[in-house]
Each structure stands twice: as structure tokens, then as C-alpha cells.
Amino acid sequence: MPDTLTTNSPVIAAYRAATPGSAVQAQRAAGLFPSGITHDARYIEPYGLYITRAKGPRKWDVDGRSYVDYFGGHGAMLLGHCHPQVMAAVHAQLDRGTHYGASHELEIEWAERVKALIPSAERVRFTSSGTEATLMAVRLARAFSGKTKLIRFNYHFHGWHDHMTSGHTNHFDGTATTGVLDAVAGNVLLCDQNDEAALARLFEQHNDIAAAIIEPTGANGGKLPIDPNFLHALRRLTAEHGVLLIFDEVVNGFRVAPGGAQEAYGIRPDLTTLAKILAGGLPGGAVTGRKDILDLLDFQVTKSAGKEKIAHPGTFNANPLSAAAGIATLRIVRDSDACARANQFGEDLRRRLNEVFEEEKVPWAAYGTFSSLELFTNPERAAITPTRFDPLEHSFASLKGDRNAGIVHKMRLAMMINGVDLSSHPGGVISASHGEAELEDTVSAMRNTVRMLRAEGEL
Ligand SMILES: Cc1ncc(COP(=O)(O)O)c(C=O)c1O
């Protein structure tokens, strides 16, 4: 990212002029948080937006400006912001208490809904986040199999605990990232997604693999799309080698289809991790899957089998507020076409943006699957036709767009000036509340953006 304090950019100047209230808040935050932020994905120079409220597909900043929202609560808000039924459930629960330090009926209904929707869910264990869910899934897999190694795929994200750091944005050689033990990183085997031969080699070379974990629509929620044939090969090879398969459906669960990617692709993993939509916009996660594996959390089963139980406390596991929001959300996911509507908007938006790129003669492309939007900014200036773009023909490094960080940065700022908040991919997640007005606003914001970038000499 360029040093925006020294860059003389009309786009950056226009962003500063449009967002003076956010600049004031960012100044306060700078003295409190590292980089002034509370989640790495919110880092943007000169500063990010400060939001005061959100409704449906839009949010408003401290200066009163409105944005079409493609952050979608980092993927949690499938139904859009402040869905009336979810809000009513949360308000009602607030008056009944937020933490009982005891079991309650809501956690039962929440888990029943998970079980009814997710095909492989035989048992459920709630956590407070997706990171905790993948942490528990790996521990379960190791304890169940008695083996140590974990296969992960380059660029895939599974939260920030120690097993999930190398090979996400750096350390693709498998070495430990700073602060992580070599012994932990050394038990992670990194592999490229969509490379069946490389995967098969890992199984030939190692006989101590406990599990493989994957984002089943591809790295970073589909920034690097998966070839469905690879997913089927992964299931076949893991089963053949007695290795557990973990689908990390923290993003996909209840999004790509009511039953997640496992329903969409017809593949049954051994364990599944969930979060985000699961808890309807409040904190929450879960690990779910085969009973015989989750039995390692069961007091009686482990005792009678003479096995050591995996301990699992967690102050906010299945807290009543998250349970209320989760139940209301999963009810709507089951009873409505929310997933299908978000997916349809995704298809329409990608098509319309590609038409803009062709009309404006910009060698970029919009792509993605289901309700994801990904933007390709073509760092190698490859000859492409946006409306016929196939991401699988391009390298991971090229799709990630890191080499185009400067232009991606200005594109995001220009989109914000034009009333659209894209995520850092760049791209975004779509909600079922995005409609015709948001489609038109996003398309015209992109047209203005490419013209601004062209005027600035970036295109
Ligand atoms: C696929 C995936 N797994 C795990 C996580 C971690 O979830 P959380 O942020 O709730 O810890 C994320 C978060 O974005 C994710 O996208």
C-alpha cells in the first residue's frame, strides 16, 4: 500500500474530504489500538470508515453518508442488517437475561436447527467464534485418530490460532510465523488446492495425518475458487487413507445453500466448523459432525470407553442472546429463499460489473460463486474478456491481487467515495437484502471508480 501521507492522489484527497468525521475518530483510535483498528481486515490508509448504524444492505458513517455494504459483518449478515425477526428475537431475549450459567432451551432449539440443516451434523458443540471451532475440530481429529499432522491448503483461512497461520498470507514454505512454535508449524502440511497429484503425494509420504481442513468453496471464501472435482478427490483420498475431512463452513454454512457447501456439492465431511450466519450477527461458532468423534467431549462415553475426555469450557458457549439470534436466522434460512436470492444477486452483480469493465475497456473481471463477489485487477495485464473470465486459468498470486495493492487500495477508496464499501479481497459478500437499487448503485459506483482511476493515470 502506498504511503498515503506522502502520495499526492486526487482519490485519496477526495476520500479525506468526504469523511472528516471518520478522520477524527481514527485519530482517537490511533492512541488506543495497534494501527488504530480491531480486526486486520479493517486496515486501510489513510483510515477506515466509522459506522453508526446499518439496515438491510446499507450502512451509514459518522458523516451521515450511506454505503451499500459488501462487508456483510465479515459474512455473518446473510439476511442483511437488523432483520426485523432477528431483532425481535434478540430484544425479547435481552429482557430475559444474557447469561444463565446453566443449560437452557434455546441452545437445544439452536442445535436442532443446525442438525436439521447441515447434512453431516450428528452432534453439535457450540463455541464463541469460528477460530475456536477450527481449534476444537483439529483437537478432536488428533484425539480421535491418534495421529498428529494436519493438511491445510495454501491461502485458506481458518481463523488465527497457532495451527492456522503459516501458508495463509505468508510462510508458504511451512515455517512458523512469528510467535508460533516450530513444532506446531512442523505438524502442518501445506498443499495447493485443486492439485490432486500433490495431495496424493502427501498421503504417500506421511502415515501420521490426522485430518485435512479446507474452505470448501476455495481459499478466502472463494477468492481462489475450488474445482469441485478436487473436493470429491479430497473426500475419496482422505477416506482411503483413514484421514478425517474437516469442512470449514464458517463462511459457507447457511450461505451457499441452507446446508452449506456440503449440501451444494453433495459431499459429507467428518467434521464441520460453523460460525458467522450460525449466530445471526452475534458472536458464536460450532463444531459439528460424526457422533463417534464428538463423543470425545462426552463425560459418560469417554469414561465407559476408558478414554481421556477433551475438556471444553467457554464462558459464552451457546449464550442465550446468540442462540436467540441464531434460531431466528436459521428459521428464515430454512423457510425462505434467502440463500438463493443472495446467490442470484451475486450472479447479476458479477455479470453487470463485467459489462462495465468491457464498456470502459478495463482489463478487470468480477467473478465468484454463490453469493461472493471477487474482483480481479489483472496485475500481469493478461488479455482477458471480462464477461468470459475464468479464474481457474490464472495463478493464485495473480488472483490475490497483492501485486496490485496500490490500485486495489485506490479502487476501494473510490468505491467508498461513490457509496459502496467493498471488502479488502477486493470484493465482498452479498446478503439476501441486496436488491435492484443496490445493484444499480454498485454498477454506477464502479463506472465512476474506473473513470476516477483513469483520470489519475492508474488505468
Ligand atoms: C473460513 C473461516 N474460518 C474461520 C474463521 C474464523 O472465524 P472467527 O472470525 O469467528 O474467529 C473465518 C473468519 O473469517 C473464516 O472465514
pLDDT tens for the chain, 459 residues long, are 445 555 689 999 999 999 999 999 999 999 999 999 999 999 999 999 999 999 999 999 999 999 999 999 999 999 999 999 999 999 999 999 999 999 999 999 999 999 999 999 999 999 999 999 999 999 999 999 999 999 999 999 999 999 999 999 999 999 999 999 999 999 999 999 999 999 999 999 999 999 999 999 999 888 999 999 999 999 999 999 999 999 999 999 999 999 999 999 999 999 999 999 999 999 999 999 999 999 999 999 999 999 999 999 999 999 999 999 999 999 999 999 999 999 999 999 999 999 999 999 999 999 999 999 999 999 989 999 999 999 999 988 888 877 789 999 999 999 999 999 999 889 999 999 999 999 999 999 999 999 999 999 999
Identify which of 198, 224, 209, 254 has the alpha carbon closest to the alpha carbon of residue 371: 254
Cβ of 134 less than 6 Å from ligand 1: yes
Give the domain ranges of the chain. 10-81+338-455, 84-335
Q: What is the pLDDT of residue 377?
A: 95
Question: Residue whose CA is closest, atom 2 of ligand 1?
Answer: 158
- Ligand 1 pocket: which of 157, 168, 169, 254 to mutate (most atoms within 8 A of CB): 157
Cβ of 165 less than 6 Å from ligand 1: no
Whole-number Cα distances in Å, 158 to 17, 162, 440 = 37, 10, 34
Task: Identify the bridge partners of residue 372 per DSSP, sorted by sequence position.
Answer: 429
Q: What is the pLDDT of residue 5?
A: 52
Distance 126 CA to ligand 1 centre (A): 15
C-alpha torsion sign, points 405, 401, 212, 172: negative
Provide the whole-model pTM.
0.97
What is d(CA 317, CA 254) in angstroms, rounded to the nearest whole number?
20
Cα dihedral 71→77→81→86 (10° resolution): -170
Q: Does domain 10-81+338-455 match CATH 3.90.1150.10?
A: yes
Second-level CATH architecture of 84-335: 3-Layer(aba) Sandwich (3.40)
C-alpha torsion sign, points 215, 349, 15, 377: positive
Q: Which atom of ligand 1 is nearest to the CA of 134?
A: 4
Question: Residue whose CA is closest, atom 9 of ligand 1?
Answer: 130
Q: What is the pLDDT of residue 127?
A: 98
